[in-house]
Structure 1
Amino acid sequence: MAAMDTKPEFPLIISVDDHTVEPADVWQSRLPKKYLDTGPRIVRAPLKEISFLGGRFRPVMGASGEDGPLGDWWLYEGLQRPLTRLDTAVGYSRDEIKLEVITYEQMRPGSYDVPQRLADMDVNHVQSSVCFPSFPRFCGQTFTEAKDHELGLLCVQAYNDWMVEEWCGPDAQGRLIPLTLIPLWDAELAAAEVRRNAARGVRAVAFSEIPPHLGLPSVHSDDWDPFLAACDETGTVIAMHIGSSSRMPSTSKDAPPAVGSTITFANCCFSMVDWLMSGKFERFPNLKVMYAEGQIGWIPYILERADVVWEENRGWGGVADKVHRPPSEIFAEHVYGCFFDDAFGLQNLDAIGLGNVLYETDYPHSDSTWPKSREVGEAQMGHLEPDVVERIVRTNAIELLGLTPEGLWRR
């Protein structure tokens, strides 16, 4: 009798890109009393109008008593930012996901509640998860754009304290992996915040894919060196999410969201070339960067082109004195691409590098593969050997983020 063909169990997922919707009291319970009226706080108010064209999100809050759908809005200095269905769409069919304001009661509790999040991770075959912010935006741009940077620094620190002590606290059982913010407007303060959090076990920090879009220095300058040195010394991974430059790729002011959604990887592409041609990885040899939600299928051609430019044009290309190896070699040692749905990329793993690929589920966003991330992974990785799947789904993340062999955060 022939032996039965037993397929190995798909590994428990370590997702390097999920999101948290911050509870309403994150800042109100942590800021000094004098800042409670200007710091981030939630109010319930009607929506007057909303649009998302040309990569720009434009909501307008109505006055109390006006007609319009009610939603919960973050207020901060002069900012009015509503919670929307795009912030937390899991549990809704694709046709039900629209650009609309919502309240906390209208979202899946796992978006903001730790025990409920763990339960939703169990449903989705996910063991551990790294979560990017919502209200602060993907690298804390909200606090960078504010007028009062004294308050902004307190807001960054309050968020990080909540992230480490509560979101990733004892109730999370090591399954939620902290990702912290920095005050982007001051590299010395940023370095201090990296070290403060590294001392309590944090190994990942959010950063902008293209800082000049935020009015900040580029990675080609020396301005970021104190921050980069702190990451280099502490083994803190620099995590860049699509949209962390506050400018999603688009082609025109009237391009529908579908255009930008199709080319979301573009900023990651531009950013990766910036880093590879910056010389920073040679100056800070322990630096690691990862691109969340950027997918991976585009990487092989960019590496091929970067190598050609470095070889043929470096004499006049401005990199001969700082980039001393082919960019593809530098990529292999320092850069990680993250994906949740990229069959083409998985067919070209050899050209990317097995050790440079990480898996994600994007919970609770509209693109999320929840609650079928395992099924999606099995379908796309079915042609790969089990040890290869293990690396992509678990081992690379364990090694990059300094997790325990079991895939949990070390406090």
Structure 2
Amino acid sequence: MGEGAQRMGKPHPMPRREPWTSRDSILQAPGARGGRAEPRLRSRMMEATLAEHSLHSDPIEEAFMALRVMSADSHMDLIYLPPDTFTSRMDRTWGDAAPHVVERDGRKWWVSRDAVLGPYGVYGPGVTGGKRGRILADAGFATGNATRPSNPSERREDQERDGVEAEVIYGIIGISRGLFTHAGIADHEMLTSVYHAYNQYIAAFNGTRPGRYYGLGCLPNHDAKLATDELFHCATLGLHGAVFVPWGSAMPVWHEMWEPLWSAAEETGLVVSFHVFEGGGATVGYEVKGIRHPAVIGSWTTVAPMQMDEICVSVILSGVCERHPKLRLVLGESGIGWLPYILERLDDTYAERLADDLKLPLVPSAYFRRQMYATFQKDFHGVRAMATIAPDNVMWGSDYPHRDGTWPFSQEAIEAQFRGIDPAIQRKMLWENVRRVYRIA
């Protein structure tokens, strides 16, 4: 093992249609908490309120305090990886094309030959901007030496501080298209080797804290056979799923060329996850037509989760879910507030315009309930709507260590999102669903 590594069920049958109406049993009387929760480790919250609970027993409050929490969306970015992640695992014939770290003008960078892939040890552009940026800067993520996410012990300390027991960890999803405004790896053969090496790394990282880390593999998106082969490689490594980047792929996810990949996912039992990213043709982003502006970057950050609507709808209407009933798909960091509208419109559009042509045996929303799942960080109205519509299909995530996330105040965020929600629903969204979807015992 290299220096970097050392650092470091069966679907339930769904009804053909369910009414889009609320169930009074989902919501409980609000007001279980009177004051603002301290953003501390859950055990400390429990200790701090023990006296109050002994005098004023509240079933909803007690259930909340006993909740177990697993993040369905955390990250391990290129920025934080050990410098030898790729050079120690890729074939030596790649030479200096294998991603590695160099120092230039007093800063460290990830490079591939002359191409700069991104900074090392510092999160993103303008990390100190805004409230969230200042929180991360205060935690050391803007120093140029931040490697806590790839250090198994330090990452675990961060999760314990946040009251999170385990994580599903997304990997180097930006390296193909470019990280922020930096270059991506355009050479398909090299990208395949990079992903292969990363998957070996993350499997070793998972093994440093069994039961805590569930890093996902990465799949090439330019060739169906190579993607399928790498998914089987992920299975042999003991991973529970892999990420497929739909933007910039050889063909859209609804295209028949990806049929071997979906079949392999069924065969191996691995989850295929998608994740928000800068999609081609967007009018907003980190840089648009050579222009960078906080309003444009912020606009993309605001709307990015909803770009998953195309993935969600197209894989259902194209028959992917019908042909592969054991396939499990996750919409990573998608948010959930938009799902009720999309699912309702999907069913209506199908019934009014598409049923004669597509002839799906089930209404489209039934496929979502059977085999598609979405993650969220802060989505107050989405939690309440999906608690009614599909409580088994949504999973909370902290997005650690990103600015769009809730670390280190996840307990505070969870309490705000779930106040008044039936404890059984809370358990599903915070713990049970993610473990069932990824088949974690």
SS of residue in 1 equivalent to 2:252: coil
Distance 1:250 1:147, change over 3 A: closer
Is the deviation greater in 342-351 or in 85-94? 85-94
Distance 1:246 1:198, change over 3 A: farther
Counterpart mapping for 1:166-315 below 5 A: 167-169=205-207, 171-208=208-245, 211=246, 213-243=247-277, 245=279, 250=284, 253=289, 256-314=296-354
Partner of 2:69: 13
- What's the % identity of the aligned pairs? 26
Partner of 1:23: 82
What amino acid is the match of 2:316? L
1:39 to 67, 75, 98: 98
How far the C-alpha of 1:133 sits from its partner, in A, is 2.0
Name the one with the larger helix percent. 2
What amino acid is the match of 2:410? S
How far the C-alpha of 1:152 sits from its partner, in A, is 2.7
What amino acid is the match of 2:73? D
How far the C-alpha of 1:111 sits from its partner, in A, is 2.1
SS of residue in 2 equivalent to 1:126: coil
Counterpart mapping for 1:104-183 below 5 A: 106-134=144-172, 137=174, 140-141=176-177, 146=185, 148-165=187-204, 167-169=205-207, 171-183=208-220
Partner of 1:72: 108
Is the deviation greater in 195-204 or in 283-292? 195-204
How far the C-alpha of 1:268 sits from its partner, in A, is 0.7
Partner of 2:431: 394
How far the C-alpha of 1:142 sits from its partner, in A, is 6.0
Distance 1:12 1:3, change over 3 A: closer
Alpha-carbon separation, structure 2, partners of 1:122 and 1:310: 46
What amino acid is the match of 1:343? F
Q: For residues 36-68 of structure 1, what are the alpha-carbon distances to aligned partners after superposition, in whole Å with 9 as ceiling and x for unaligned?
A: 31110111224xxxxxxxxxxxxxxxxxxxxxx
Q: For residues 11-43 of structure 1, what are the alpha-carbon distances to aligned partners after superposition, in whole Å with 9 as ceiling and x for unaligned?
A: 231111111122211001112222131110111
How far the C-alpha of 1:387 sits from its partner, in A, is 1.5
Counterpart contact for 1:72–1:82, Cα < 8 Å: no
Q: For residues 171-225 of structure 1, what are the alpha-carbon distances to aligned partners after superposition, in whole Å with 9 as ceiling and x for unaligned?
A: 22320002001222221121121112213322211012xx3x4152112321001
Distance 1:306 1:344, change over 3 A: same
How far the C-alpha of 1:275 sits from its partner, in A, is 1.4
Alpha-carbon separation, structure 1, partners of 2:113 and 2:256: 31
Q: How many pairs does the alignment contain? A: 369
Alpha-carbon separation, structure 1, partners of 2:133 and 2:406: 15
Distance 1:347 1:386, change over 3 A: same
How far the C-alpha of 1:148 sits from its partner, in A, is 4.0
Q: Which runs of 5+ in 2 are unaligned?
A: 1-53
Q: For residues 233-258 of structure 1, what are the alpha-carbon distances to aligned partners after superposition, in whole Å with 9 as ceiling and x for unaligned?
A: 11111111110646766297556211
Counterpart mapping for 1:43-62 below 5 A: 43-46=102-105
Partner of 1:362: 399
Counterpart contact for 1:242–1:267, Cα < 8 Å: yes
Distance 1:214 1:97, change over 3 A: farther
Alpha-carbon separation, structure 2, partners of 1:221 and 1:200: 28
What amino acid is the match of 1:292? G
TM-score, length of structure 1 as denominator length:
0.81
Is the deviation greater in 71-80 or in 256-265? 71-80
SS of residue in 1 equivalent to 2:218: coil
Alpha-carbon separation, structure 1, partners of 2:255 and 2:123: 38
Is the deviation greater in 298-307 or in 171-180? 171-180
Partner of 2:11: none
SS of residue in 2 equivalent to 1:264: helix
Alpha-carbon separation, structure 2, partners of 1:172 and 1:90: 31
Name the one with the larger strand percent. 1
TM-score, length of structure 2 as denominator length:
0.76
Distance 1:244 1:401, change over 3 A: farther
Alpha-carbon separation, structure 1, partners of 2:399 and 2:186: 31
Distance 1:38 1:127, change over 3 A: same
Runs ≥4 residues deviating over 4 A: 87-93, 102-105, 140-145, 244-249, 251-255
Partner of 1:49: none
